Structure 1
Amino acid sequence: MQDKGEDQNSVEGDVSRYYRDRAAPRAGARGDPRMWAAFGLFFVLAFAFASWLPRLPELKRAFGMSEGDVGFVLLAMPVAQLCVIPLVAFGSVRLRLRTLNLICITWLLVAIALVGLATSSVSLAIVVFLIGAGTGSTGVAINAAGFAAEEAMGRPILSRCHAMYSVGLAAGGLTAGLMAAADVPIIVHLTMTNIVLLAVLLVIVRAVVDTRKPEDDAPKFAWPKGALLIPGLIAMGSLMAEGVSVDWSSIYLSEVINAPTALVGAGVAAFSGAMAVMRFAGDWVSERVPPRLIVGGGAVLSAAGYAITAIAPNAAVAFAGLILVGFGLAPIVPLAFRIAGKLSPNAPGIGVAAVSTLGYAGFLLGPPLVGLVAEASSLRLSLGAVSGMLILVTLISFRLSTKAAN
């Protein structure tokens, strides 16, 4: 009889072959509203999240915060996220995906709009805590929706979902940078942006795959353990590097590179644009390239990108480094979430939430840790440390490759 470990290895090893063995997608799949609804959820989350980050240098100056102060403010996000994500797993098997996504994203949009009402670093930290809760819960909800759409359509789309997240980050970052350059008040900018995003959400949520598989014995909390630990650690390292790029690139370009104000938001755009390009091809790549090469090669490339960014003498070189980071990180996280969904087939939200617990902890813990290191040394050195951390992801990928053999 095949033991549990062999079954588990077979599941991970067959992730890419799984889709090739499914029935061919029906005609018109490219226009399938279920796919575009999943794409839209990722775009809305990313645009909203990126919309306030290029205003962070402005808030830093207004409240007289140091890099360490910014780090402590950003630390409120992972605290909220770690509290919320295990609970969202419970909701993911008891609420319909439409309802879950509507609740989580609406919470996030309202929380981000409150950034414009912050009057001190303390009130900003409270708002950031609310943003962290919204970001963490929404991350689970949209990934569960993306995996459900894959299952319903019988074809891989999760990498392209994450590509739409990158497009949303680029669009949100550029828009926010232009708003800041035009001196549009933060409250006006964020309120109007999120009203539009809420209207978009109400339209697309109706096409979200609305499956639900109630399980009497489904766990109320999701913790990364067992087979889910390896993809969880990979997601953690990759999302930590991604979070640093998103949260710190604006400050780095503004205060270290001395880039013009109009280009401050372009750092997020360059990084996110590179991720989007690579992720649009990610579903094709995942069917043809072993997981070890996807994770290990991507981590090495992004480590090189961070090293270049850390020593960049000007904005052009920094942009080049951020683009390499984006190319390298792009395919890693969708693969980790796909494996998580396959390892929890009866309730994919549980597997996604378990990996998300580590993954989004990395995404939200990375930025404050960079701030603390920068306070003690320099922002350049702290970015260089992220490069070293990505080498660890490469080493972890070898463990994934042994599980994914055959």
Structure 2
Amino acid sequence: MDAANHLVAARRARWAVAALFLGNGFMVGSWAPHIPLLVGRLEISAGVLGILIFFFGVGALVSMPFAGWLMSRFGQKPVLRFFALMQGLGLLLVELSPAVPVAALAMAFFGASIGCTDVAMNASTVTVERQLGKAVMSSMHGFWSLGGFAGGALGGLLIKTVGVLPHAVIVAVLVVGVGFLIRPLFIETDEKAAATAGNATRSSGFPRQPILYILGLLALFCFVSEGVVLDWAALYLTRELGSDVAVAGLAYAFFAGAMALMRFAGDGVRNRFGAVPTMRASALVAGLAMLAASLAPMPWLVIAAFAVCGLGVANTVPIIFSAAGNQPGVSSAAGMSVATTMGYAGILLAPGSIGFVGDHVGFAPVFAAMAALLFVVFLASPLTRSADSDHGGAGH
């Protein structure tokens, strides 16, 4: 295949992977309105529901390194094709579960399918970036945010209109259908390089480069900061600043909306200025805005601060993922599995502990602590220079 055909294939693959990000986000967003309804259907307490959600998280975290191994062993394309279809079945299996033990297994499968797809599509994005010679990771995460918004916004309406199980069937058909249509458009990494990376991965079990685990820790810091706004911003505004529920709900909405917009703009910024300067500015803005949210005395000032924080934090994880996927001496799949597993561990582990701390000392100190984590990411920004290594960014 000549250079022109390679470029055409890479452009097609870019939109195929974007559709996969959109579908993955749509699936996660569609799950959100099912959560309270599961309590009534299975006649369980909130505590049991928490255990089921924990199974989802464990399924995702345990499976993510396995997805990296599969891609190093068999290549990206077949693994991506498989999980593009499998992710569509998770929600349906949960809704078909007749009892708690079966639901726990279904939740673990659901989490595993979402987690493995996440690793595969991020690793494939690194491959597309190499083929195109420019950054596209931020816009991919923008499509995920857009899918999550669509899934959440349409989910409640469809459940009210057609019912819970029919909604799960519709979601499964849409996601599996899109996955089937885009399967021919995925591209593969160089077979010799993939085989070499696969041998290294099998012999060592996990990558040995310390920087991968540092990048994973930075991803965790960014994900925890994002998750804290999702889980606790509304409670902070109502409990500590006296806001009503309608206004408090705008905190995450403005944060998420700003984050989605900046993710679509982020690739242009990164291609213009390079990964390290973009990362440095993003983390600094996010940290300062998070600190402002912890200090602001009025609800609308807090909401504005969270919106600015969303603009800052938007491109941090995409750049970290690109850096992990471009580390020399390790396959992009293996590097991505480390970064995604450690990053998403923050979403699983943080909510309970942060809620406990917030109950005892208030949430203003919690948001100040998140600002400190983002300042650490700012200081560590030079570690993301490898994000530009395969498309000649200015960050070198």
TM-score by length of 2: 0.78
Q: Distance in 1 between the 2:74 and 2:229 partners?
A: 33
Alignment of 1:218 with 2:200, yes or no, is yes
CA distance 1:253–1:299, change in 2 (3 Å): closer
Matched, 1:193 2:171: yes
- Verify: 1:327 aligned to 2:311, yes or no: yes
Q: How does 1:228-307 map to 2 (within 5 A)?
A: 228-244=212-228, 259=245, 270-287=254-271, 288=273, 290-300=277-287, 303-304=290-291, 307=294
Q: Give distance in 1, aligned partners of 2:337 and 2:237.
A: 34
* 1:357 aligns with one of 341, 346, 358: 341
Q: Quickly say closer, same or farther: Cα 1:360–1:114, change in 2 above 3 A.
A: same
Say yes or no: does 1:35 pair with 2:30.
no
SS at match of 1:222: coil
CA RMSD of aligned residues (A): 4.0
Distance 1:80 1:400, change over 3 A: same
Identical columns (%): 26
Does the aligned pair in 2 maintain the 1:302–1:387 contact within 8 Å?
no
Structure 1 portions without partners, runs of 5+: 1-23
Deviates further, 117-126 or 140-149: 117-126
User: In the alignment, what sits opposite 1:3?
Assistant: none
CA deviation after TM superposition for structure 1 residue 205, in Å: 2.2
CA shift for structure 1 position 268: 6.6
Q: 1:33 to 1:277 in 2, by over 3 A?
A: same
User: Which amino acid is 1:303 matched to?
Assistant: M
Give yes or no for contact 1:235–1:359 (8 Å, CA) kept in 2.
Answer: yes
2-structure distance, mates of 1:356, 1:139:
8
d(CA) in 2 for partners of 1:99, 1:35: 17
Q: Residues of 1 paired with 2:208 and 2:367: CA distance?
A: 23
The equivalent residue for 1:85 is 64
Find the partner of 1:117 among 96, 99, 116. Answer: 96
The aligned counterpart of 1:106 is 85
SS of equivalent residue, structure 2 residue 60: helix
Find the counterpart in structure 1 of residue 138 from structure 2: 159
Q: Shift in Å at residue 383 of structure 1?
A: 8.6
Task: Report the more deviating stretch, 284-293 or 336-345.
Answer: 284-293
> What are the ranges of 5 or more consecutive residues in structure 2 without an aligned counterpart?
386-394
* Aligned position for 1:400: 381
Question: Structure 1 residue 278: deviation in Å?
Answer: 0.3
Aligned to 1:93, what secondary structure does the other structure show?
helix
Please give the per-residue CA displacement for 1:224-273, whole angstroms capped at 9, x wherever unaligned: 8511122211111212333455577899999997757xx97x87765443
Cα separation, 1, equivalents of 2:357 and 2:94:
25
Larger helix percent: 2
Pick from 21, 26, 45: which aligns with 1:65?
A: 45
Pair 87,250 (structure 1): closer, same or farther in 2 beyond 3 Å: farther
In the alignment, is the contact (CA less than 8 A) between 1:47 and 1:172 conserved in 2? yes
Partner of 1:10: none
Instruction: Map Cα deviations across residues 349-376 of structure 1 (whole Å, 9 max, x no partner).
Output: 11111211211212333345456667xx
> Closer, same or farther in 2 for the Cα pair 1:305/1:400, shift >3 Å?
same
Whether the 8 Å CA contact 1:300–1:394 is kept in 2: the answer is: yes
- Deviation of the 1:193 alpha carbon: 1.4
- TM-score of the superposed pair, with normalisation by structure 1: 0.76
Partner of residue 127 from structure 2, selected from 123, 126, 148:
148
Q: Deviation of residue 148 (structure 1)?
A: 0.7
